Amino acid sequence: MRCIDKATPGRSIWEMVAAEEFANPAGILQGGFLAAFVDSAMGAAAVTFAQGRKVIVVNTEMKVSFTAAVPIGAVVRCEAEVVSGGSTVAFLEATVRLEDGKLAGRATSTYLLRERQ
């Protein structure tokens, strides 16, 4: 996984290649790894939302819906953004798309923002 854009506060874009070591027996990316991918993207977006503050973010809940299989070797992109938030809580949404633009998943999550010491 790598972050390719976090210049806009409250938004981040990540990419990854679906590696064989994260495949299930059917040869597609495991859902848990895709969940970790969206968590990373949404967490980064939540951190950038807290402009001018040094914060850590803690995921309090997350829902992931899988809409298409991600084959091994596919490049997937996740776009995450804060849709609502304040000084201590942020609600985020994310989409995961395959290279051809097909939707592979959607996620929502709530993050707590805490001042970093």
Q: What is the pLDDT of residues 34-59, one digit of tens each?
A: 999 999 999 999 999 998 899 999 99
1-14 pLDDT, tens digit each:
999 999 999 999 99
Residue 117 above 90 pLDDT? no
The domains of the chain are located at 2-115
**Whole-structure pTM value:** 0.94
- Integer Cα distance of 20 and 100 in angstroms: 20
Question: What pLDDT is stored for residue 61 in this prediction?
Answer: 97
Just give the CATH number of 2-115. Answer: 3.10.129.10
Give the position of tokens 């968590």. Answer: 39
Question: What are 53's two structure tokens?
Answer: 């503050």
79 exposed, middle or buried (CB, 10 Å; 0-12, 13-18, 19+)? middle
Instruction: Compute the distance between CA of residue 116 and CA of residue 104 in angstroms, rounded to an integer.
Output: 34
Q: What does R_g of the chain's alpha carbons equal in angstroms?
A: 14
Mean pLDDT of 50-69: 95
The letter for the amino acid at 63 is K
